Amino acid sequence: ITVVTWNVGTAMPPNDVTSLLHLNTGETNDVDMIAIGLQEVNSKINKRLKDALFTDQWSELFMDVLSPFHFILVSTVRMQGVILLVFAKYYHLPFLQDIQTDCTRTGLGGYWGNKGGVSVRLSIFGHMVCFLNCHLPAHLEKAEQRKEDFATILHMQQFEGPVANGILDHDLVFWFGDLNFRIESLDICFVKYAIDSNVLSQLWEKDQLNIAKSTWPVLRGFQEGPLNFPPTFKFDVGTNKYDSSAKKRKPAWTDRILWKIKPPSKGLGTGGHRPSQGVLSVSQLCYCSHMEYTVSDHKPVAAIFAVQFASKVEKPLVEIYVADEWSRPEQAVVRYKMAVGFHRSSWDWIGLYRVGFRHPKDYVSYVWARSDDGERCLEKQLCAQVMFSEEALPKGNGEYILGYYSNTSSSIAGVTEPFQISLPRSEEGSSSTDSSGSSSEEDDSTLVLLAPKSRSPSPGKMKRHRSRSPSLAKFQGLILRPTSRDRGTSRSPSPQSRCSLPRNIPTIHLPREELGHREVKSKELGQAAESPDGSSFYQTAQEQSGLWRVSADSSLPRADPRSLGLLPALRLEMIEQALGRRRDSADQGYHPCQRTSPTSPPGCSPSPKEGHSP
CA-based nearest residue to 468, from 574, 613, 608 = 613
Do residues 32 and 86 touch, judged by C-beta distance below 8 A? Answer: no
pLDDT at 601 over 70: no
Q: How confident is the model at residue 132 (pLDDT cuts 50, 70, 90)?
A: very high
pLDDT at 23 over 80: yes
pLDDT at 157 over 90: yes
pLDDT at 207 over 80: yes
Q: How confident is the model at residue 572 (pLDDT cuts 50, 70, 90)?
A: very low
- Tens-place pLDDT, residues 33-53: 999 999 999 877 666 666 666
Position 492 scores a pLDDT of 34
Do residues 172 and 130 touch, judged by C-beta distance below 8 A? Answer: yes
Q: What is the mean pLDDT of residues 135-145?
A: 96
Distance CA 294, CA 14 (A): 9
Position 452 scores a pLDDT of 37
Position 48 scores a pLDDT of 62
Secondary structure in 3-state letters for 242-288: ECCCCCCCCCECCEEEEEEECCCCCCCCHHHCCCCCCCEEEEEEEEE
Distance CA 170, CA 244 (A): 43
Please give the domain boundaries of the chain with CATH numbers for all domains: 2-309 (3.60.10.10), 318-424 (2.60.40.2840), 431-587 (no CATH)
Q: How confident is the model at residue 590 (pLDDT cuts 50, 70, 90)?
A: very low
Which secondary structure element, helix H or strand E, spans residue 209, and what is its range?
A: helix 208-215
Position 489 scores a pLDDT of 36
Position 142 scores a pLDDT of 95
- Tens-place pLDDT, residues 472-502: 333 344 343 443 334 333 333 333 333 443 4
Q: What is the mean pLDDT of residues 119-131?
A: 97
Q: How confident is the model at residue 376 (pLDDT cuts 50, 70, 90)?
A: low
Q: What is the mean pLDDT of residues 316-339?
A: 95
Q: What is the mean pLDDT of residues 332-338?
A: 95
Instruction: List CB contacts of 220: < 8 A, sequence separation 6 or more.
Output: none
pLDDT at 511 over 50: no
Q: How confident is the model at residue 160 (pLDDT cuts 50, 70, 90)?
A: very high
CA-based nearest residue to 310, from 142, 127, 165 = 127
Query: Which position has the higher pLDDT, 587 or 112?
Result: 112
Position 370 scores a pLDDT of 80
Position 419 scores a pLDDT of 97
- Tens-place pLDDT, residues 383-403: 999 999 999 999 999 999 999
Q: Are strands 82-89 and 33-39 parallel, antiparallel or unpaired?
A: antiparallel
- Tens-place pLDDT, residues 37-93: 999 998 776 666 666 666 789 999 999 999 999 999 999 999 999 999 999 999 999
Do residues 300 and 289 touch, judged by C-beta distance below 8 A? Answer: yes
pLDDT at 549 over 80: no
Q: Are strands 33-39 and 2-7 parallel, antiparallel or unpaired?
A: parallel
CA-based nearest residue to 100, from 174, 158, 37, 35 = 158
- Tens-place pLDDT, residues 400-431: 999 999 999 999 999 999 999 999 986 544 44
pLDDT at 607 over 90: no
Position 533 scores a pLDDT of 41
CA-based nearest residue to 67, from 305, 351, 362 = 362
Query: Which position has the higher pLDDT, 240 or 594?
Result: 240
- Tens-place pLDDT, residues 262-321: 998 765 444 444 444 448 999 999 999 999 999 999 999 999 999 999 989 989 999 999
Share of the chain above pLDDT 90, in %: 57
Report the mean per-residue pLDDT for the chain: 76
Position 140 scores a pLDDT of 96
pTM of this structure = 0.71
CA-based nearest residue to 152, from 220, 106, 111 = 106
Distance CA 541, CA 543 (A): 7
Position 107 scores a pLDDT of 87
Distance CA 97, CA 126 (A): 8
Position 371 scores a pLDDT of 61
Q: Name which of 129-133, 290-294, 433-437 the model is least confident about.
A: 433-437
Distance CA 304, CA 4 (A): 9
Position 425 scores a pLDDT of 84
Q: Is the dihedral of CA 571, 572, 573, 578 positive or negative?
A: positive
Distance CA 351, CA 363 (A): 6
